[in-house]
Amino acid sequence: MDELPRLYGFIIGPGGTGTDFYKVFSFHPRELREIADWGFNSANFLFSYLLLFTRDGSQARLDYLQRLDRIVAVAMESGLHLTLQLYDVPGKIQEMPDNYYADYKLDQDILNPEKRDQLRAVVQALAKRYKDVPNRNLSFRTGSCGGLTEGEVKAYGDGNTFTVDEIIEWGDFWIDAIREISPERFIIHECVMDHSRSYDEKNFEEKLVGYYDHYQHVSEKYDNTRPVFGYMDMAYGYYQAQTNSGEANGGGNIDFCQHSNNVPSHPSAIYTFNEAMVNDVKQLTIDGCLPAGTVIRFYLAEATEGLLSFAVDGKTVHQETFPEAQTFNVGYFLSFGCPFAESDKMVELTLTEDAQEVIVTANGERYIWSGIRVTLPDAYAVERWWWDSAWDVELGLLAPEDYHDEFYKKRTSTILIGIGGNAEGGDHITIYDDVRFTTGNKVFESSAEFYDRMCRFITERYPKWVSWIEDICNTDNESILRFFDDVAAACQRYGVDYWASPLGNMMEEYNAPFIVAGYEGENFEGHHNFNVKLLRILQKYIDK
């Protein structure tokens, strides 16, 4: 491991399972040669075991294995270090079919002895097949895509959850299976992830420290390993509209894209605050830019017996008494990244003159709101990238003639504030005149300063680690360029290994122009509509 240079390259792979894999598998050797020609030295090849073996792991699909042989051979010929990552294995499967709108099959059964035997068979078959490939050319990556999370629900439909010790033991089982065949094989390992804390400026260090027990365990028990963590997504992840029950992708009914939401930019941040006015949190304050003509619509989800009051600059402008507990009908969340939802209980305030603050006070046991819509006067409107989902039309939220099946720019003066869902969230919202807001609690920051702090903090404890730089959100092209520039610079500054996933933002083969606002490609080395600007940014940080 110490002889390897800093790894820097791309995430590649077929993605989902099924016939589409057969079509694109032959494309990856060309992809690997291009990555090497561009000056990079590494690739993380991501695929499902279901493409190479039967579900029980007892039979191999030789035609696909021969294609994988070709990929390994081309990586060696090109001087690349190739990491083989199975994101699906027996006992841990998220099988995405060709039709992304269809239901997926989830298998969370890593403790099942029979599936453990199947996992060993699959891993050892690959270890035997590539036993003679040098470490400098090939490594294995344990864990499935995204790893396992403490508290993640066990077998599909089971209400029980995994413990940290169970996840650590499962990782050891995986490594032991490889080492039985290749005792010296270079292994990159994923560890327990703790999603009980968020990546914010106050506690991201606590969150990362929570990983260290597992990292320390692996480093003391096994040699020639390297941890992968620090998934550096943009602040706004991939937008999926959700039902109010939180079911991802609306059970296949909602578009696999953002749902009527302005496209965010980097640098940016996600904030959270108390959706529940309960216990000691009985007051919500809105201040900042509140000129005359501003309209505030406050959507309520639940209320108990008591009084809800609205005051503008200390003067009560609305009061409502609830004689008993009530639950109101809440609509669809706007998206995963912005869980704003309307309800059939709304309080509307129109400011007749400029205001300093609006305070909502609850006198009762429990009040929960689902969204706040703040509309400033038209003079404050800003132009933003926008996307209308076909689901808007289906829900009757948008007239068919107004539907845009592409990104477009429109002016807006409306701010949509979604629920926080965090008892540690803030109770203070500040509105700005460029139609944005902040609160007292920052959940995730996406900025050059944040990624510098993250890389420095981790490297001080683990000098050799691998990051997964992932931009899978719908965002504008200029924002993508800034994001990869900032993150790649931080990785280069601290000597961090990384794989980046911008190929989907580079090549028309990945439909980049259809998911990126403001995309401008060029004809480049046999590619049509290629994002040369993004490639040049990443090349700036290649070790010379």
Domain count for the chain:
2
- The 10s digit of each residue's pLDDT in 190-199 is 866 554 444 5
Do residue 66 and residue 204 come from a single domain?
Answer: yes
Domain end call among 205, 229, 253: 229
Q: Would you say residue 183 has pLDDT above 70?
A: yes
Please indicate, yes or no, whether residues 188 and 329 belong to a single structural domain of this protein: no
Does the pLDDT of residue 104 top 50, yes or no?
no
Residue positions counted in the chain = 544
Same domain flag for 207 and 306: no
Q: In this model, does residue 25 exceed pLDDT 70?
A: no
Structural domain includes residue 384: no
Tell me whether residue 454 is in a domain: no
pLDDT tens sequence across 219-274: 899 999 998 876 676 544 333 334 444 444 333 344 444 455 667 788 887 777 77
Do both 272 and 225 map to the same domain? no
pLDDT of residue 540: 96
Residue 394 in any domain: the answer is no
Tell me if 303 is assigned to some domain. Answer: yes
Domain contains 190: yes
- Is a pLDDT exceeding 80 seen at residue 514? no
What is residue 12's predicted lDDT score, i.e. its pLDDT?
86
Q: Is residue 186 domain-shared with residue 285, that is, in the same domain?
A: no
Q: What's the first-to-final CA gap in the chain, in angstroms?
A: 20
pLDDT score at 233: 64
Rounded CA separation 431/405 (Å): 31
Residues 373, 291: one domain? yes
**Final residue belonging to a domain, choices 399, 427, 444:** 444
C-alpha distances in Å from residue 181, one per residue of 85, 175, 247: 17, 10, 41
In a domain, 333, yes or no: yes
Report residue 234 as tokens: 């943009």
Please check the confidence at residue 122 and state whether its pLDDT lies above 80: yes
Same domain, 331 and 274: yes
Q: Each residue of 26-48: pLDDT tens digit?
A: 568 888 999 999 999 999 998 88
**Whole-angstrom distance, CA of residue 329 vs CA of residue 307:** 20
Contact 287, 356 (CB under 8 A): yes
What CATH number should be reported for the domain holding residue 32? 3.20.20.80
pLDDT at 454: 85
Q: Do 223 and 280 lie in a common domain?
A: no
192 found inside a domain: yes
Q: What value does the mean pLDDT of the chain take?
A: 81
CATH of the domain at 273: 2.60.120
pLDDT of residue 91: 86
Q: Is residue 544 part of a domain?
A: no
Claim to verify: residue 77 and residue 184 sit in the same structural domain: yes
One-letter-per-residue 3-state SS of 328-340? CCECCCCCCCCCC
What is the 8-class DSSP label of residue 432?
E
> 302 lies in which domain range?
267-377+413-444
Question: What pLDDT sits at residue 210?
Answer: 61
Q: Both 301 and 192 in a single domain?
A: no
- In this model, does residue 467 exceed pLDDT 60? yes
Shared domain for 98 and 44, answered yes or no, is yes
Last residue of a domain, one of 229, 250, 278: 229
- Residue 246 has what pLDDT? 41
For the stretch 307-338, pLDDT in tens is: 999 999 999 999 999 999 999 998 877 665 56
**Beta bridge mates, 499:** 9, 468
Q: Write the pLDDT tens digit of every residue in 357-409.
A: 999 998 888 888 888 999 999 999 999 888 776 767 777 778 999 888 778 88
Q: Within this chain, do residues 280 and 420 fall inside the same structural domain, yes or no?
A: yes
